[in-house]
Structure 1
């Protein structure tokens, strides 16, 4: 019953098979291999446009490199206060950009609104005394498992264009958002105004592979130098390309995300029946954030369940935990077993009933 993260699970068997096949014989190095070329072609077809694709092994690398391609050292990046680039990447975006400033914006459910972005940009001082607006970064699905609708992305992109900002999308759980929204990938990215996407595969069943997708292909001119200089160019790039190619084969990326989302939905249904449990944030992808009575929270952990207590910073103040409550984060994955979900639900319901008696 491990719902701590989608990173706690292993690798899809299809990925391991693909890596074993790629391991045979010799191959051109540094990303010029046939698997990487095929992955780029297939991603271009998926997004229905010409793209430039660069593979890296980590989400932090993908995000930091994406922002470095868009942002000068004297620039700024508008992002949510609870975003991964703000609190979980150890200053990598600032390092890779050469010192650009991250500007934090609040928003319920882990999402920024166009009006909040506009307000943040309007607060900038006179040039050249303040940093230059350069980029906006949104997370899809967000750190609180919510999704940006097409109209919301379009509105943020329009604000960005008026202020000279490009739009980056942190898509560590992009597949889960696509499944939740039942959207074409093109419709929630470049057609809505996204310039660069960090397309995550690791959380969705890969061993370690992320794709930086440049819809603004002009950014590709210097990107190879950024990737090399920051240590993210793999010499044996075929093992990244093979993973992405396998994820796209027969829509494995969609099948894995569909399962993860379904397990989250079932957890939500079961926990909603427990006395004193409430959900301040809609469950739209594969993360859920129930507010639990603290005795129930502690009893579940004592019984061997694994999940995190979480910061309510991305939740509207009125919906945050009150005295005697705690907000948890639970994450499901491509490998979450139905029987583990049902066992956890039964345990929670039994403990909830016993605590109430």
Structure 2
């Protein structure tokens, strides 16, 4: 019963088949081959625009390099206080941006709002050299709380950002899960809604290690090839990273994986709600479920082999807080989560 993270899942079969197809023979190094060109073209078709695409290996690299392209000396990036770039990336965004601050803002269930962006600008206003330069906002889709920005919410954020000369970065580590939940197109959820630069994640959704920085506003693509090289993400055998995307996109495999993960999460939610002792902490909108369960039930499930994370509760809204005899836990479903795992976990947690 593996609900600790979608990173725990292996690589899906179509992706491994694509890797195998390209494992022999010779191809130009450092992303110069036909396969890498084809994947860039595939991204451009997918997003319906002439975007610049740079493949990297990790989401941390994608986020940090993307933010390095939109910040300047003394830069500030406004993000949610629980954002991955601020909490879980070991200072990589600060390091690769030459010291930009990840300025955490409050927001219930992992979401920023236009009002919180404006409050950030009051704290770090334009033109005050002592405070630095507000350069960008970063929003996670889906969020660290498993929630999703609607298209209208994204447009509202990008409007206030652009009105205040801020670039917009989207951390799309779980991009596909959000996309299928909204039933939107990649273009609608990004550049058509005002997003300038995207960290496009595939690893959590069935790839081995495949991420990409997708730049819609090409003003931010200047010198990006040097940023990637300096960070150690220009692979000599880039064809293997590209091959993963070939398998990922083929026959809409990436969307199929995301739909499965989301559907398993929905089944978890339904089972938790069908109990007198467990409940969802808030609405689950993608493949992450945050649940409030009795401590004894969580301990029993863990002892019986269930993997999940007890989630910190500091800073939560009072209405989201568990009672003293309860835990807040996070359950993450992946492309390989089975109905049997869900049923087994629910049986344990309810008993």
* Superposed pair shares fold, TM > 0.5: yes
Q: What is the SS of the residue equivalent to 1:334? A: coil
Taking structure 2 as the reference length, the TM-score comes to: 0.97
Cα distance in 1, alignment partners of residues 240 and 316 from structure 2: 39
For structure 1, which segment, 301-310 or 172-181, has the greater mean C-alpha deviation from structure 2 after superposition? 301-310
2:116 aligned partner? 116
**Residues 112, 314 of structure 1: CA spacing in aligned structure 2 closer, same or farther, 3 A cutoff?**
farther
Query: How big is the shift at 1:276?
Result: 2.1
Aligned with 2:293: secondary structure? strand
- Distance across 2 between alignment mates of 1:129 and 1:209: 39
1:264 maps to 2:270? no
Aligned residues of 2:300 and 2:348 also touching (Cα < 8 A): no
Alignment of 1:171-210 (within 5 A): 171-210=172-211
Match of 1:103 in 2: 103
* Distance in 1 between residues matched to 2:312 and 2:12, nearest whole Å: 30
* Rounded Cα–Cα distance in structure 2 between residues aligned with 1:304 and 1:53: 41
After alignment, is 226-235 or 270-279 more displaced? 270-279
**Preserved CA contact (<8 Å) 2:16 2:247:** no
TM-score, length of structure 1 as denominator length: 0.96
Q: Secondary structure at the match of 1:148?
A: coil
| Counterpart position of 2:38 | 38
For residues 25 and 35 of structure 1, the distance between their equivalents in structure 2, rounded to whole angstroms, comes to 13
Helix, strand or coil at the partner of 1:289: strand
Q: How does 1:274-293 map to 2 (within 5 A)?
A: 274-293=275-294
Contact between 2:78 and 2:103, CA under 8 Å: does it hold in 1? yes
- The aligned counterpart of 1:78 is 78
- Give SS of 1:7's match: helix
Matches within 5 A, 1:146-185: 146-185=147-186
**Equivalent residue number for residue 355 of structure 1:** none
Q: Give the whole-Å Cα distance in 1 for the aligned partners of 2:262 and 2:272.
A: 15
Moved more, 310-319 or 95-104: 310-319
Divergent runs of 4+, >4 A? none
Structure-2 separation of matches of 1:314 and 1:346: 31
Provide, for residues 53-76 of structure 1, a one-character-per-residue CA deviation record: whole Å limited to 9, x for no partner: 000000000000000011113110
> Shift of the alpha carbon at 1:221?
2.1
Name the CA shift for 1:112/1:6 in 2 (closer, same or farther; >3 Å): same
Structure 2 Cα separation of the partners of residues 266 and 17 of structure 1: 30
Q: CA deviation at 1:40?
A: 1.1
Cα distance in 2 for partners of 1:311, 1:107 equals 16
The offset of 1:313, in angstroms, is 4.8
Quick one: distance in 2 between partners of 1:170 and 1:315?
22
Aligned to 1:248: 249
Which residue is 1:3 aligned to? 3
- In structure 2, the residue corresponding to 1:290 is in which secondary structure? strand
Residue 354 of structure 1 is matched in structure 2 by none
Q: Is the 8 A contact 1:81 1:105 kept in 2?
A: yes
Q: CA deviation at 1:102?
A: 1.1
SS state of the match for residue 68, structure 2?
helix
CA contact (8 A) 2:35 2:239 kept: yes
| C-alpha contact 1:290 1:328 (8 A) present in aligned 2 | yes
Per-residue deviation, residues 14-67 of structure 1 (Å, max 9, x unmatched):
111111111110001111122221111111111111100000000000000000
1:274 CA drift (Å): 2.2
Equivalent-residue separation in structure 1 for 2:117 and 2:204 (angstroms): 28
SS at match of 1:138: strand
Q: Does 1:64 align with 2:64?
A: yes
- 1:146 Cα deviation (Å)? 0.4
Q: Which SS does the other structure have where 1:24 is aligned?
A: coil
RMSD: 1.1
Q: Which residue of 2 aligns with 1:143?
A: 144
| Structure 2 unaligned residues grouped into runs of 5+ | none
CA distance in 1, matches of 2:256, 2:269: 20
Q: Provide the residue aligned with 1:324 in structure 2.
A: 325
Tell me which residue corresponds to 1:335: 336
What is the CA deviation profile of residues 291-347 of structure 1, one whole-angstrom value per residue up to 9, with x for unaligned ones? 111111111111111101012357423221121111000000001111111111222
Structure 1 unaligned regions, length at least 5: 352-357
Does the C-alpha gap of structure 1 residues 139 and 314 become closer, same or farther in structure 2, counting only changes over 3 Å? farther
